[in-house]
């Protein structure tokens, strides 16, 4: 599976796409595959603050709950409400299904994240594929 | 088979089979067609001899007297306190011959318990757990699937009865119309050598192909039994919970005479039970899960969730929980604490799911 170029990634399998001063965040295909069918997504409210490395919500499959970790710090400007009623969208296309958009506190923070190539290498080792 | 494996009490067990679509697909296959489970981790204790019935009566709470040869009864072994050693299915194999099928996680404890508590009876106790590979074929198309593999007339085997027959060319295989999915289905007990077990497994998958059979793991096993309110040891039943609290008194026959736990249960009944097992359904967004606290709507802690999950067939979030009797009325609302937030849930009738009645 090729992961989109131009995104940044975390070791907890979140992706970040930077658009000027805004960060768009979701989880990767590896994450949705490990979780199985997703039945519940819990996201923060618009206006709330997220902090790099801290949890900002959770995603649940039938049998497991997984925390979502913020790749960067910022203020939530948009939340994908469609995931309230159609959480399975994440399984269908994780790499394009965004969860939240944030106004970045510090665009430089993203430089500490994994590049596409580094993330692909990371999952290849982790999954033992 | 590409299963996602996990350690379950020392057993290497498949949680789900991603190649078939995972837990949800497995669950729905069992409700709508047929699924197959390897449940060899379960245990089998054989009790035989002139006082086998007396022994079974002494260590279990249901009445085994009057069981026909070929009949099964759901029962439980209790501690003197009236709490659970394990739940079991008692099979009457012959005149003086009984088989207790028990849980995997409690195998050794159960075997020791049976041996210790039947010494005074003229009978022999044997642990046959390692002699059998147990395969469960569950779902409305389970009977059609298995019928293709056996000469036994399955239409003559009523629910909670068993027979013996040739299965996949193997002679004298026990075929029980039992299961843990709240569906019709069978459990077969085949010889445990790897090549035989593998061959039977594959033949079952082949026979069930036209019905959409899928292999099923522990994940769907749990969601299926939860929808049917079938108890799981360590959750709804344990050594800290008595029969009245668990709501399993329809399998308790005080009138049959003495048995381990009887006195304590009688005392408990007179004293009155304080907590009871209820079914919950989420009202607000959230999935109540095992171990989560239950609070009243004012925020006081009143109980806990024993098992909870998204229910793939019912498409709701459901849970079983112990709460005080005064919080157990249908439609009564409580709050389950989900990651530090109170999520409103209501008490609902159980079982959450009951299989449709067929003309058999």
Which residues of chain A from 86 to 115 reach within 8 Å of chain B, CB to CB? none
Q: Which of A40, A62, A84 sits opposite B312 (nearest CB)?
A: A62
Residues of chain B with C-beta less than 8 angstroms from the C-beta of A62 = 23-24, 219, 223, 309-310, 312
Tell me which residues of chain B have a pLDDT lower than 70: 1, 8-10, 358-360
Q: Do B350 and B281 form a contact (C-beta atoms < 8 A)?
A: no
CA-to-CA distance for B183 and B35, rounded, in angstroms?
Answer: 11
Measured CA to CA, the distance from residue B234 to residue B84 in angstroms comes to 9
B175-224: pLDDT as tens digits = 999 999 999 999 999 998 889 999 999 999 999 999 999 999 999 999 99
Distance CA B326, CA A52 (A): 45
Sign of CA dihedral B156, B140, B105, B236: negative
Give the percent of chain A with pLDDT over 70.
97
Cα(B96)–Cα(B272) distance, integer angstroms? 38
Q: Are B328 and B346 in contact (CB under 8 A)?
A: no
Burial of B11 (0-12, 13-18, 19+ CB in 10 A): middle
Read off the DSSP letter of residue B61. S
B310/A36 touch (CB, cutoff 8 Å), yes or no: no
Whether complex ipTM tops 0.90:
no
Helix, coil or strand: residue A83: helix
Positive or negative, the Cα torsion across B222, B227, B230, B232?
A: positive
| Average pLDDT estimate for A121-125 | 93
Angle of helix B52-59 relative to helix B107-117, nearest 10 degrees? Answer: 120
Query: Min CA distance, B337 vs chain A (Å)?
Result: 14
Q: List all residues 6 or more positions away from B91 whose beta carbon is below 8 Å from its beta carbon.
A: B71, B72, B98, B99, B100, B101, B162, B174, B176
Burial-class residue B331 by CB neighbours within 10 Å (0-12, 13-18, 19+). exposed
| Residue A128 pLDDT greater than 70, yes or no | no
Query: A39 in contact with B at a CB cutoff of 8 Å?
Result: yes
Per-residue CA distances from B349 to B64, B71, B227, B237 (Å): 29, 29, 12, 19
Give all domains of chain A, ordered by start, each with its CATH number.
14-106 (2.40.50.100)
Q: Beta strand B43-48 with B97-102: parallel, antiparallel or unpaired? A: antiparallel
Q: What is the pLDDT of residues A67-112, one digit of tens each?
A: 999 999 999 999 999 999 999 999 999 999 999 999 999 988 998 9
**Any chain B CB within 8 A of the CB of A127?**
no
pTM exceeds 0.80, yes or no: yes
Cα first-last separation, chain A: 11
Site from A32, A33, A34, A37 to mutate, B interface, most B CB atoms within 10 angstroms:
A37
Q: Name which of A108, A90, A79, A94 is nearest A18 in CA terms.
A: A108
Q: What is the pLDDT of residue B17?
A: 85
Tokens of B34: 């047929």
Contact B242, B262 (CB under 8 A): no
**Chain centre distance of CA A74:** 14
Please confirm whether the linkage preceding B351 is cis (ω < 30° from 0).
Answer: yes
Residue among B129, B79, B27 at smallest CA distance from B264: B79
What are the residues facing B163 on neighbouring strands?
A: B175
The answer, for A58 touching chain B at a CB cutoff of 8 Å, is yes
Question: Can you spell out the DSSP letters for B124-188?
Answer: EEEE-GGGEEEEEEESTTHHHHHHTTBSS-GGG--TTBEEEEEETTEEEEEEE---SSSSSEEEE
**Chain B CB within 8 Å of residue A81 CB:** no
Residue A129 confidence (pLDDT)? 46
Q: Do A40 and B223 touch (CB under 8 A)?
A: no
Contact B24 A62 (CB under 8 A): yes
CA nearest B328: which of B224, B241, B245? Answer: B245
User: What is the layout of strands, in order, in the sheet containing A100-104?
Assistant: A8-9, A14-19, A22-27, A100-104, A74-79, A49-50
**Chain Cα centroid distance, residue B71:** 17
- The Cα–Cα gap between B14 and B317 comes to 24
Chain A positions touching B18 (Cβ under 8 A) are 33, 36
């Amino acid at each position: 599976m090729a992961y989109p170029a131009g995104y940044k990634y975390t070791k907890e399998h979140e992706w970040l796409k930077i658009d000027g001063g805004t960060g768009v965040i979701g989880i990767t295909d590896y994450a949705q595959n490990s979780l199985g069918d997703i039945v519940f997504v819990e996201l923060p409210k618009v206006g709330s603050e997220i902090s790099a490395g801290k949890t900002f919500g959770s995603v649940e499959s039938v049998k497991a709950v997984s925390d979502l970790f913020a790749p960067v710090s910022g203020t939530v400007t948009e939340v994908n409400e469609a995931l309230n009623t159609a959480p399975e969208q994440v399984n269908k296309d994780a790499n394009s299904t965004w969860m939240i958009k944030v106004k970045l506190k510090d665009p430089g923070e993203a430089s500490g994240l994994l590049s596409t190539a580094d993330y692909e290498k990371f999952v290849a080792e982790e999954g033992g594929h | 088979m590409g299963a996602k494996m996990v350690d379950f009490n020392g057993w290497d067990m498949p949680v789900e089979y991603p190649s078939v679509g995972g837990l949800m697909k497995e669950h729905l296959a069992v409700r709508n067609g047929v699924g197959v489970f390897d449940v060899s981790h379960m245990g089998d204790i054989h009790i035989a001899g002139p006082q086998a019935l007396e022994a079974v009566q002494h260590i279990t709470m249901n009445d085994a007297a009057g069981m026909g040869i070929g009949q099964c009864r759901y029962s439980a072994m209790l501690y003197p306190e009236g709490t659970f050693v394990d739940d079991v299915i008692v099979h009457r194999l012959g005149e003086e011959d009984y088989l207790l099928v028990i849980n995997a996680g409690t195998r050794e404890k159960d075997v020791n318990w049976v041996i210790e508590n039947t010494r005074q009876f003229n009978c022999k106790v044997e642990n046959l757990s390692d002699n059998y590979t147990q395969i469960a074929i569950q779902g409305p198309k389970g009977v059609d699937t298995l019928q293709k593999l056996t000469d036994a007339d399955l239409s003559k085997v009523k629910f909670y009865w068993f027979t013996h027959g040739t299965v996949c060319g193997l002679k004298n295989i026990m075929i029980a119309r039992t299961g843990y999915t709240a569906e019709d289905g069978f459990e077969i007990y085949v010889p445990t050598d790897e090549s035989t077990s593998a061959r039977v497994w594959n033949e079952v998958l082949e026979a069930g192909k036209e019905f959409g059979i899928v292999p099923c793991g522990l994940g769907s096993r749990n969601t299926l039994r939860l929808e049917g309110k079938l108890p799981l040891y360590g959750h709804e039943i344990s050594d800290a919970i008595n029969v009245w609290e668990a709501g399993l008194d329809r399998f308790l026959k005080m009138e049959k005479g003495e048995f381990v736990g009887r006195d304590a249960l009688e005392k408990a009944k007179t004293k009155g039970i304080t907590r009871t097992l209820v079914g919950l359904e989420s009202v607000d967004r959230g999935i109540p899960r095992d171990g989560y606290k239950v609070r009243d709507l004012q925020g006081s802690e009143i109980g806990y969730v024993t098992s909870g999950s998204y229910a793939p067939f019912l498409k709701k979030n459901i849970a079983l929980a112990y709460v005080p009797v005064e919080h157990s009325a249908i439609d009564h609302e409580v709050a389950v604490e989900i990651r530090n937030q109170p999520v409103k849930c209501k008490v609902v009738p159980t079982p959450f799911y009951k299989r449709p009645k067929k003309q058999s």
